[in-house]
Amino acid sequence: MEMGKARKGPRTLLGALLSGAVLIGLAGAAPAAAQSVEQFYKGKQIKFILGSAGGGGYDAYSRSITRYMGKHIPGKPGFIVQNMPGAGGLVAANYIYGVAPKDGSEIGMTGRAAAIEALINPADKSVKFEATKFNWIGTPQQETGILMVSTKTPVRTLEDLTKYELTASSTGRAAATSVYPRLLNNMFGTKFKVIEGYKSSQDGLFALERGEVTAHSSGGSSSAFRNRVDPWVRDGKIIMLMQLATEKDPGYPHLPLVTELARTDAERQILELVLVQQVMGRPIMAPPNLPADRVKALRDAFDATMTDPEFLAECDKQQLEVNPVSGAKLNAMLDRVYQTPKAVVDQVAELLAKE
């Protein structure tokens, strides 16, 4: 009996140690899957991937939002912004979709055109994501693009755009600054030659001011944008010819909408599809496959930030408009857009595939 007990004791002790090790391991692993939102975010920093260079509107909105959004998230995490410019926001979108952790520790902001790039330009193999699978968090602003032309050219009217070749600055092919002039070329016979590769939208604007190009098709018309270009208009350096949106910016009531150029219902559908990006504005998204409670927490925090008095006061001081759209509405809109009849989508893709 004593020998039997002696043999059994070590096995029991070893089993207990092994069981304890397993339990310790499980205890260490359990929080990753079972933590509450507050437990997960407490003491953490959220990395915010920004798909543009510093100094522009995207940068300004991102840094203002991240200064306040954390206080509305349970656990009150901090934020750190990392600029990841390239291809109109596609570089950042690809990273958030395919590389960023799927736990809510990294979110970001992409270019407004990125969400529909795969739809309107299926030949673009640089898109490595499905836009409808992102967890869209929201946009603080909806946009209206403006077509501007140097007064050093003979162009003074919309009709003149079909008579004279203009060079237009752009960051990349997927950006509004490239998409819009190429679409105008192929739908209405304008003669823009798009010069892509500028580091940021600000660089593209300054290229117009310096005379490196003779036109620029902006993606937006924020107060910061107006403060920059309105003096150029007053000084007779540029003229504005058109608004690129489905609704006018009240600040430019005299400028026609591009949709007014549509001659048929089909052309109007094409323009409306391409202009979805204007509603996207400055879109913030999280990767796919996040825990539902963290998606809800991020969306709720974004919505709360959009009405936060301190945030609004900062935006007012910086002249940043706040005209938000919720993440749920962005996801629903993209779900609808990606159901657009194939004939219309094919026509848009064909138009945008041309130079």
Which tens digit of pLDDT belongs to each residue from 178-199?
999 999 999 999 999 999 999 8
Chain-centroid distance, C-alpha 153: 33
Provide the pLDDT for residue 177.
Answer: 93
Angle at 129 between CA 127 and CA 134, to 5 degrees: 140
CA distance 279 to 112: 8
- Mean pLDDT calculated for residue range 158-183: 94
Residues above pLDDT 90, as percent of the chain: 68
* pLDDT at position 15 over 50: no
* pLDDT at position 28 over 70: no
Average pLDDT, the chain: 89
**What is each CA distance from 269 to 220, 262, 347, in whole angstroms?**
21, 9, 10
DSSP 3-state assignment of 233? helix
**Which residues have C-beta within 8 Å of that of residue 273, sequence separation ≥ 6?**
116, 119, 120, 337, 340, 344, 345, 348
Q: Which single residue is written with the structure tokens 């499905």?
A: 130
CA distance 292 to 298: 10
H helices of the chain, where? Answer: 2-34, 37-41, 57-68, 90-98, 114-120, 176-188, 201-210, 223-234, 265-274, 276-280, 292-305, 309-318, 327-337, 342-353
Q: What's the fold here for domain 145-277?
A: D-Maltodextrin-Binding Protein; domain 2 (3.40.190)
DSSP 3-state assignment of 307? coil
Residues above pLDDT 70, as percent of the chain: 91
Residue 251 DSSP symbol: T
Provide the pLDDT for residue 223.
Answer: 75
Of 157, 96, 47, 144, residue with least CA distance to 285: 96
* CA end-to-end span of the chain: 92
Q: What's the fold here for domain 38-142+281-353?
A: D-Maltodextrin-Binding Protein; domain 2 (3.40.190)
Cβ–Cβ under 8 Å, residues 192 and 168: yes
Which tens digit of pLDDT belongs to each residue from 283-296?
999 999 999 999 99
Provide the pLDDT for residue 20.
Answer: 46
Provide the pLDDT for residue 141.
Answer: 92
- Mean pLDDT calculated for residue range 252-258: 94
CA distance 329 to 337: 12
Which tens digit of pLDDT belongs to each residue from 199-239?
888 899 999 999 999 999 998 887 778 888 999 999 999 99
Least confident range of 13-17, 219-223, 273-277, 326-330:
13-17
Instruction: Please report, for the chain, the start and end positions of each structural domain, with discontinuous segments joined by +.
Output: 38-142+281-353, 145-277
CA distance 30 to 118: 38
Of 147, 144, 277, residue with least CA distance to 208: 147
* Residue 31 pLDDT grade (very low, low, confident, very high; cuts 50, 70, 90): low
Chain-centroid distance, C-alpha 262: 27
* pLDDT at position 269 over 70: yes
* Residue 25 pLDDT grade (very low, low, confident, very high; cuts 50, 70, 90): very low
H helices of 168-247, where? Answer: 176-188, 201-210, 223-234
**Do 145-277 and 38-142+281-353 have the same topology in CATH?**
yes
